[in-house]
Amino acid sequence: MAPAMAWIAGEVESAANDLGAMIAVDTSFPPGRGYDAFADLMEGLVAPLGFAHERVVVPEVLWQVPGGPASGPRTNLVATRRSGRPVCGLYFHVDTVPAAPGWQGDPLRMARDGDMLIGLGAADMKGCIAAVLLALRAAEACNVALAYDPMLLFCTDEEGGLYPGIRYLAEQGRLEGHVLNFNGSAEARIWAGCFGLFNLLVRVRGQAVHAGEGNRSGSGLNAIEGALPLLNALAVLKARVATRVSALPPPPGKPALAAQLNIATINGGTAGGQVPALLELTLNRRYAPEESFESALAEIEETILRSVASVPGLSVETALVGHLAPTSDPTGPHWPRWQHAMGQGFGYAPEEFRKWGAASCSDFGWVQRATGMQEVLLGGLGRPSRNIHAPGEHTTTTDVVALARSVLAYLAADFAPELIPENTSSRS
């Protein structure tokens, strides 16, 4: 396998080129209009590696929010290459968050700064796709026998979607074997699971009128000003929610993980000459595995209704626009070998690994619920310094090489064969 490891380092520029092409396809969610174009790109990259591919589209009725903005089809791509070996799913979410203000250049045009590869989705998680493709090319070029048939899963709407693509694939019985999820860290980490989240759209409605008439009795109802009691009540609730601490182990050196409530978006009004008739908020609630989704949602809705009721004439409606279920303890028989492979690629010693959870979320809670597949391996390119979801998001060629080497080691038949659970079960 040593020649293949050296080959990876020598061919990292091909991975950087792939990443540049991926970043150039706008897959931001919301709105999620670029999935077909990204599937086109991926089909062109996986076909030379001998993969058959199939597009699986999530039915619109499952993910479209009534009254929401127009969007594109939720096109997932499943690529398989079968030889009769056990299957290892390699999962990627292809969506990014929208580009935040503050980017120095075009976030959809990859920039280089020494070792750094800069662009929207570079670390989360298009760089992971580039690394895995590099590993698979190395195996082909250097004739590395694999222990597993890789199944590539390019999935939609992980960034807080109502019906992520991997959920649909799981519920349709399309997943096989065990899965390596690349929505994680390049650090020496053993995943302990994560919080769930939901996004709630709140529409507060008043009555539009000419702004010059707005202070006359019975004329108009300012939805923004009328929502001030609601905003104040949400601030009080936010503080109360933050006192709920999870038993999930936090990252090393970090405080205990706690539940969160945040106002994620706010929009209202049209012009200075008109009393605003509509205020829209998106509330983001991150809930610990110990909490109930139903209770967390009911608590917010009760707060909303109670606050709006204090303003005569104001009305309110809510809609769930995104939900990721918590991922419970994802340990299992394949984890020791993946940990060993991460050490091989990144140079971590066994004693450096620590187990921790996160208040960030994953769509694999839905996979666990739909399939009973408890074990989920986790890796990736995330590091605290990578500006994920922020201007200047980046990864490095060093980490791309390290992740590619980790993946190649894990897939290779001659890497730590004594740790391959399928080998053990076949002998028993």
Q: Which tokens belong to 218?
A: 């019975």
Task: Give the residue from 367, 267, 282 showing the smallest Cα distance to 320.
Answer: 282
1 touches 412 (CB < 8 A): yes
Under the banding of pLDDT at 50, 70 and 90, the label for residue 425 is low
Residue 427 pLDDT more than 70? no
CATH superfamily of the domain spanning 1-194+326-426 = Zn peptidases (3.40.630.10)
pLDDT tens-place string over residues 382-409? 999 999 999 999 999 999 999 999 999 9
Residue 282 pLDDT more than 70? yes
Where exactly does CATH 3.40.630.10 map onto the chain? 1-194+326-426
Q: Which tokens belong to 377?
A: 């391996």
Q: Which tokens belong to 421?
A: 């659970």
Under the banding of pLDDT at 50, 70 and 90, the label for residue 70 is confident
Residue 224 has phi, psi (to 5 degrees) of -70, -50
Q: Assign 116 to helix, strand or coil.
A: strand
Question: Do the bridges between strand 178-181 and strand 315-324 make them parallel or antiparallel, or are there none, so unpaired?
Answer: unpaired
More confident residue, 116 or 271: 116
Structure confidence at residue 114 (pLDDT): 95
Where exactly does CATH 3.30.70.360 map onto the chain? 196-324
CATH code given to domain 196-324? 3.30.70.360
Confirm whether pTM is higher than 0.85: yes
Q: Establish how many alpha carbons lie within 13 A of residue 1's alpha carbon, considering only the half-sphere containing its beta carbon.
A: 20
Question: Do the bridges between strand 377-378 and strand 178-181 make them parallel or antiparallel, or are there none, so unpaired?
Answer: parallel
The alpha carbon dihedral of 419, 125, 199, 162 has a sign of negative
Beta-bridged to residue 339, according to DSSP, are none
